[in-house]
């Protein structure tokens, strides 16, 4: 992607992001020092499932090359977590996409996914997979737009039906599979 800044704050944001902040948007791989800020961001992004702070520490330590963080100044505005399933190295599974309410409607989720896919470490990814509940129209629109930009089809399959969530009030989580991605894929 073009027009990205590489500044990298080291402390978590202590307050809500300001939409009038004139600082340049930065995108980078997350670090363990970012885990608390990521946890706070997800708290502010319902209906996303909130994972433990420890889970975000593990993501930033073990999967930083398949995750991406965005912000402005010291404020975290977006986060995408993902990983490559061990038995399917041509797949990027996107676990969560979180965009702070103050940064929504600006294409940040698509920009994060595009920047992530452009990383040299992910050049052999041919498929994006994710689970998105049927009611999460915003996420479905983001992934549909990414598929269109990449010139790839989207298929949907049952993966995690409601009953697997142990009685919790949780919707089905069907699998969305995008791909195969073109070798000359455009930035999302």
pLDDT recorded at residue 184: 52
pTM comes to 0.83
pLDDT recorded at residue 2: 36
pLDDT range class, residue 96, cuts 50, 70, 90: very high
pLDDT recorded at residue 112: 97
Is residue 96 within 8 A of residue 48, CB to CB? The reply is yes
pLDDT tens track for 5-50: 333 333 333 334 444 445 799 999 999 999 999 999 999 998 888 9
Domains in the chain: boundaries:
25-178
pLDDT recorded at residue 183: 56
Specify the fold of 25-178.
Aminopeptidase (3.40.630)
pLDDT recorded at residue 18: 45
Is residue 187 predicted with pLDDT exceeding 90? no
Is residue 92 within 8 A of residue 146, CB to CB? The reply is no
Contact partners, residue 149, CB within 8 Å, separation at least 6: 110, 114, 185, 186, 187, 188
pLDDT tens track for 108-125: 999 999 999 999 999 999
Is residue 98 within 8 A of residue 70, CB to CB? The reply is no
pLDDT tens track for 139-178: 999 999 999 999 999 999 987 877 777 777 777 888 999 9
DSSP labels, the chain: --S-B-----S--SSPPPTT--SPEEEE---GGGHHHHHHHHHTSTTSPPPPHHHHHHHHHH-GGG-EEEEETTEEEEEEEEE--TT-TTEEEEEEEEE-GGGTTSSHHHHHHHHHHTSGGGTT--EEEEE--TT-HHHHHHHHHHHHHHT--EEEEEEE-GGGGTT-S---EEEEEE-PPPTTPPP-
């Amino acid at each position: 992607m073009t027009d990205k800044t590489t500044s990298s704050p080291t402390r978590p944001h202590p307050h809500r992001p300001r939409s009038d902040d004139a600082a340049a948007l930065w995108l980078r791989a997350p670090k363990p020092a970012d885990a608390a800020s990521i946890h706070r961001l997800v708290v502010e992004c319902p209906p996303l499932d909130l994972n433990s702070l420890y889970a975000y520490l593990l993501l930033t330590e073990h999967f930083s090359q398949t995750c991406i963080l965005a912000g402005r100044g010291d404020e975290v505005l977006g986060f995408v977590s993902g990983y490559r399933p061990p038995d399917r190295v041509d797949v990027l599974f996107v676990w969560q996409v979180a965009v702070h309410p103050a940064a929504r409607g600006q294409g940040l989720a698509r920009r994060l996914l595009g920047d992530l896919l452009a990383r040299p470490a992910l050049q052999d990814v041919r498929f994006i997979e994710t689970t998105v509940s049927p009611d999460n129209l915003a996420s479905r629109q983001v992934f549909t737009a990414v598929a269109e930009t990449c010139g790839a089809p989207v298929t949907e399959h049952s993966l995690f039906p409601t009953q697997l969530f142990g009685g919790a009030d949780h919707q089905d989580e069907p699998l969305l599979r995008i791909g195969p991605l073109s070798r000359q894929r455009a930035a999302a």
